[in-house]
Amino acid sequence: MSDLPFAGEPLSPHIGLEITGLDLTALDDATTAAVRQAFNDRHVLVFRDQEMTPDQQVRFAERIGKPDIYPFVKGLDGFPMITPVIKEAHETVNFGGIWHSDTAYQQTPPMATMLLAREIPPVGGDTMFASQAAAYDALSDAMKAMLAPLRGVNSSAKADATRTREDRVTGDDARKVLEAVHPVVRVHPETGRKTLYVNVGHTVRLEGFSEEESAPILQFLFRHQTRAEFQCRVRWRAGTLVLWDNRAAQHYPVNDYHGHRREMHRITLKGQPAQ
């Protein structure tokens, strides 16, 4: 990463880059392009000490992509594209607390997600990420060939997903069941790399197969996708902003901080249909 115009420290061999000394509220076009290059190369970017207003967070998001509105939780007043992700001190279920790619049940899933830490517990509440490009590369040639034509059926009603949104869903969209079918192996539209695109939170079966028939293949993939050697771990501080590529990474928010409040502000960026 020595050719980038900022300092960056890899978080693991396959995924993650922590960037220091960069003010995301004052990016020029050349630095923005370098951020996008690092984003495509490393899937997950960590920026420290970002004292942003909601308006500044939206403006940074607009430099990277087009902000979208999350269908299940009301956004901040005046900033509908910023979703507050909050776990109160008395709660025991965290939001999205399983390995997943964001909203894979949408016909056009988001390109990326950014999360800005507003209030964090004194310890705990880390987020794990796993490279789905590295996970694909590690498969045997025979498995790659078998998976190539398969498509996964993804649903917002899968129990593993809905239980992590309890008491948080709002409005008419809360009652909707969203379903989308995407390739099990997708091609990253910017890098051309192949990535696995099923996840335990949303993928219910393979297209054309029953759930029982799909289960052995999906259960293998769910275990394989999150192996330790494909992962990195992000430890949050107030003012940390993390940007991750939803097309090439899964994430898992660790729920180990009961008794403490945690508030994050999330923006998702519109993507392209998975291919």
What is the rounded CA–CA span in Å between residue 122 and residue 102? Answer: 26
For residue 86, CA distances in Å to 94, 110, 130, 190 come to 8, 21, 23, 32
Within its chain, how far is the Cα of 180 from the centroid?
17
Which residue is associated with the tokens 């291919």? 275
Is 100 an annotated catalytic residue?
Answer: yes
Decide: residue 166, CB within 10 A, 0-12 exposed, 13-18 middle, 19+ buried. Answer: exposed
User: Choosing from 102, 168, 186, 245, which is the catalytic residue?
Assistant: 102
What is the rounded CA–CA span in Å between residue 202 and residue 105? Answer: 7
For every residue of 2-23, DSSP letters joined together read: TTSSSEEEESSSSS-EEEES--
What is the rounded CA–CA span in Å between residue 129 and residue 178? Answer: 25
Q: Which two tokens stand for residue 33?
A: 């392009």
Scored b (16 or more CB within 10 A) or e, 63-96 reads: ebbebbebbbbbbeeebebbbbbbbeeebeebbb
Is 251 an annotated catalytic residue?
Answer: yes
User: Choosing from 42, 43, 265, 266, which is the catalytic residue?
Assistant: 266
User: Choosing from 42, 188, 205, 251, which is the catalytic residue?
Assistant: 251
- Do 210 and 152 form a contact (C-beta atoms < 8 A)? no
Is 266 an annotated catalytic residue?
Answer: yes
Residue 219 has φ and ψ, to the nearest 5°, of -65, -40
User: Choosing from 42, 100, 247, 265, which is the catalytic residue?
Assistant: 100
CA angle 188, 192, 193 (to 5 degrees): 75
Q: Please list the active-site residues.
A: 100, 102, 251, 266
